[in-house]
Amino acid sequence: MATSMGVWLYDAETFDEIALLTAHKEAVTAVAFSPDGTKIASGSVDGTVLLWDMPKSIKLYPSKQQPNR
């Protein structure tokens, strides 16, 4: 969830808070996840885009290999 405080990460099954990513100076308006679930990009109205490396302890979603097309 993107907010004026940063990007909140929640466990989709338990709804427990996992992490809060803060560094933007203004509200976060966009969030994207890398296909392998190891990175998050966040964009803000302050004009910045930040790339976050997720520690191995934070599993963003199950890793499923997609066949190449």
Tens-place pLDDT, residues 47-67: 999 999 887 666 665 545 555
Is 70 exceeded by the pLDDT of residue 1?
A: no
- Tell me the pTM: 0.70
What is the rounded distance in angstroms from the CA atom of residue 22 to the CA atom of residue 46?
A: 13
Token pair of 10 as six digits: 């929640």
**What is the three-class DSSP state of 43?**
strand
**pLDDT grade for 2, boundaries at 50, 70 and 90:** low
Calculate the average pLDDT of the chain.
Answer: 80
Q: What is the mean pLDDT of residues 16-31?
A: 88
